[in-house]
Amino acid sequence: MPTSSQTLEYLQTASFKKPEDTALKSLPLMGDGPAIRRLRLQIERIGPHFRTVLVRGEMGTGKELVARALHEHSNHAYEPFVTCHASWLNSLEERHNIISRYMRVTGAGTFFLDGVEEMSIEAQRQLLVILEQKVSTRLIASTAVDLRRMAAAGRFRHELYSRLAMVEIVVEPLRRRVEDIPALAMHFVEQFAAQYEKQVDIVARATVERLQRHTWPGNIREFENVLRNGVLHCEGTLLEPADLSSMVEFAEANDESHVRPCGATARLQDVIDQHVLQVLRECSGNKVRAAEMLGISRSTLYRMLEGGCSPA
């Protein structure tokens, strides 16, 4: 974990460049379903005028890319876009000075605070103090949970929640965007075929259907890893269902033909837990590799395991 002095040194020497890609052509903004069209419209409307935005969505949905798209649609797109994971601030000394320095480096650009729900109460208090100083920095915070409920439970400051959630954007999970999966699949196939010098250029209809049946608890990050492995395993020009080895067993377990007792319905959390354990088994218990496959951070995986998803 970097010390406060190392953080200050980084902020003094770092250079921040405007992303080269056009924001609304980047992931997770690809597709033409109603959810993604609504998201693009929000970005176009909010981008030029926002001061503070809260972006909410599950792990792996691409909240940082949404934040970058907002930044690129602002009137300060060529100013810095600076990112920081909120939990990192909890263990730093001189936390107030570190947050202030981040804001100063960002200037009139955009400061992206990822995982704001993981901030300690004291860190939240210090951030609120800085925001009340009316700095010129635009702030985008991301969260994977409902901060309103956290605030109601006393685990998040009401004042900070009200400040952050003046404008809130919800990024839908991939399982609710199945109509966008064909375009996403083709995008990743083309990308990885070029990267690994493979001749894969077609996605079989059965492959698309299998991808659409999957619940994607790791969302687009997990989807990307599955397609990467699929292209690597593919021996021809057509990506077949058999090439999706990293999700075969889970897909079969949740196939509609799978027999269940009459009246039994799997809860989404149970399905997610089963998938996490399946991936962990496929990775021989290697949590770092499993987190990469799922498209989530190691700390998130550890919390899922501690919360009742037992590797045993």
Angstrom distance (rounded) from CA 148 to CA 128: 16
DSSP 189: H
Nearest one of 156, 149, 145, 146 to 122, comparing CA atoms? 156
Burial category of 293 from C-beta neighbours within 10 Å (exposed 0-12, middle 13-18, buried 19 and up): buried
User: Residue 96: its pLDDT value, please?
Assistant: 79
Where among 127, 156, 172 does a domain terminate? 172
User: Residue 41: its pLDDT value, please?
Assistant: 94
Pair 50, 196 in one domain: no
Domain of 217, in residue numbers: 175-306
Pair 50, 148 in one domain: yes
Is 24 a member of any domain? yes
User: Residue 255: its pLDDT value, please?
Assistant: 43
Domain count, the chain: 2
User: Residue 258: its pLDDT value, please?
Assistant: 38
Q: pTM value? A: 0.74
Residues 14-40: pLDDT tens digits?
A: 444 444 443 344 555 888 899 999 999
The residue ranges of the chain whose pLDDT is under 50 are 1, 8, 10, 12-25, 248-265, 310-312
Pair 86, 18 in one domain: yes
Pair 111, 147 in one domain: yes
Where among 113, 145, 172 does a domain terminate? 172
Where among 117, 137, 172 does a domain terminate? 172
